[in-house]
Amino acid sequence: MFLLLWSITTASIPWPYPETYQPTQRSLGIAENTFSFVGSSNPILDDAFVRYRAIFFKRCFSDPLISHSELPMTLYVTIDNVTIPSYVPHDMDEYYEIQISSGRSALNAHTIWGALRGLETFSQLINCDYTQRSFSIEEVTIKDKPRFPYRGLMVDSARHFIPLSAIYQVMDGMAYNKLNVFHWHLTDDESFPYVSKQFPQLAKKGAFQPWQTHIYTPEDVANVVHYAYMRGIRVVPEFDTPGHFTSWTKGHPELQTQCPNVRTQGRAFLDPTLPLVYSFLTDFWREAGVLFPDNMVHLGGDELGFDCWKNNANITGFMARNNIASYAKLEEYYFDKIHSITEKLGRRGIVWQDVFNNNVQLDKDTVIGVWQIEKWRQDLADATAKGHDVLLYSPWYLNMISYAGNG
């Protein structure tokens, strides 16, 4: 399931509400033919100027009246740190200030990312007069920065393939709401649409329509990451293991736990005792890291269950030889290995709360994703008490949003 986001006129009130917002109740006329931007030229800002000019003046009516009564308006955009990173950093500074007045209108930001948030706020300040088919903007002072550094939206394109055009529309909606992380749930039991050049059989045999359609090529991924980059959005991929692993095994059955005496409802599970699993995942994530430059990778870990592992003689023998006393400790063995791999690749791991709830001892640097609805407040408190950063998903599942106020 996914939600297509679009912009709705906010009656010139910025969204989300800024940290400091000082309106004056005085308005200035603004018109496309007399408005201009002035700012230091760089690819992200130049692209944003073009994009936002269309948003400013095309979102209310296609044929605004041409009036010469408005005074010319220039928005002066200045950025303190003109260095433009090659990817959106996890610690991006999104602070900006806006001053709109009849004398001079200015947007100042610490970085390009703050400038993008400020341009979005400026677009929301513009008011549409449907009677006169004209635009105005209030004289106002705004100082703003986000309360949370990670403001994400997860999209699952494994259970239901989502075309790139829809992904781009979702990202536009994220920019309109100043969300800054696109969590891309790329693989699951149902399909493996991500094309790995090093391991082509994964998509060739694991996608819904293998190899021809319903896949994301490396070029597709690069385009998504670039589209997000131009809007100040990080892209964090999720490759779910050791459960939700069925689609991986279509192309690489050698990674699978064999458990013929257990009903798995068609689900497959990774075998954490096999050395080839770790060499495979090292190569896989090294390749993916070139396409996904973000410092985080989501490693999954949800809804594992241990029945399959319990019914594999090789696994029980491995546990006995290595003094692994429980299947939760076997899961801990797996995630210790995975943490070592991702750390060497310069990536910080995210896991679903199921791993934490199984009392798996995780490195403090591991981020916990709280998604289960029953007691999310307690789960959140437990994970933070152990020193983990936490991403809260539970109250915000769009297909179950009604419970958000009941937790």
Q: Which residues are catalytic?
A: 303
332/88 Cα distance (integer angstroms): 31
353/337 Cα distance (integer angstroms): 18
Distances (CA, A) of 386 to 199, 224, 332, 357: 37, 35, 16, 12
Identity at 281, one-letter amino acid code = L
Distances (CA, A) of 231 to 73, 168, 226, 292: 24, 11, 9, 16
CB-side neighbour CA atoms (13 Å) of 394? 22
Taking alpha carbons only, the member of 184, 19, 13, 192 closest to residue 94 is 19
| Inter-residue contact 285 to 347 (CB < 8 Å) | yes
| Inter-residue contact 96 to 114 (CB < 8 Å) | yes
What dihedral do alpha carbons 158, 161, 166, 172 form, nearest 10°? 0
114/162 Cα distance (integer angstroms): 30
Scanning the structure block, which residue is given the tokens 């010139």?
12
